[in-house]
Copies of this chain bind each other. A is one copy, B any other.
């Protein structure tokens, strides 16, 4: 029998997670919520996702737009085993009371503080820690990208220290109001909060992160310098480790992918929903090993990288898979990230 899942908030993350749930063989998408009509609400209807209204939404407004409303968030919560909260940052915290009242399990996103949930989650990093839990938080896009990389490097060679500079996109592609248009904004919190956030997954990981915001919409880029505890044989050994790990995508030099515009063009060519790139992107040309000093870039698609993690979190919380590898493989096949 399939588990019944709702998505509260049908925006950038929510619409992707909804699609991902709908594609899983062991899950049913019971409904999604919107607070006001929009083309995205229209798409929910076209895809056959029952539309519920959240917050102070005006049902009449939906009806005027020709969008039938199936009920309220409370109605929706009454019909599901678990809700994925994809509300704007900090709203998830408020929503938690509703989920508690309804007696449903809930997943929160990385825009919430860690204490919103019992455990912070990354599929490669700590799948087992979320098993059976009631409230789980999937860490943010940048933290997910770092946690995945840690999952590869730490067991293989140990991490003596790690300096990561996060070059962050300033807004998502669909946003029209946020800037800057021309300029670089340092994040004055030094080191940035991303290091401590990765340590919610890997306690004691010796990582120091810094961040700047730049005027692009496509992807974040992480610039990494890791001092490993043991030297890999050569850079090929490192590349092989990334390559065999799920949710890493490597570009070879002959593919002529010189930056994030070409990565996203690849994603458009590949054609997974929304032209997403849910994997950590590694350029083979962008990995360098000097004995134990490993340098590498990775690009992170902020809109989609947490989508498969949400799916795996559902499986962990509802005991749908015996271990991380099984869940990841099932998720990735359903999403087209791995061969069917």
Contacts and interface: CB of A to CB of B under 8 A. Distances in A.
Q: How many copies of the shown chain assemble into the complex?
A: 4
Nearest to A272: B271
A262 B176 contact: yes
Interface in A162-194: 163, 165, 167, 169-171, 173-186, 188, 190-191
Main secondary structure of the interface of A (DSSP, over half): mixed
Nearest to A174: B265
A181 B170 contact: yes
Interface residues on A, range: 35 or more
A254 B184 contact: no
A61 to B, nearest CB: 8
A184 B286 contact: no
A150 to B, nearest CB: 18
Contacts of A329: none
A322 interface: no
Contact of A181 (B171, B252, B299): B171
18 contacts: A43-B266, A171-B179, A171-B181, A173-B182, A173-B265, A177-B180, A180-B259, A180-B261, A184-B214, A185-B258, A185-B260, A191-B225, A210-B295, A212-B223, A215-B216, A268-B275, A271-B274, A275-B275
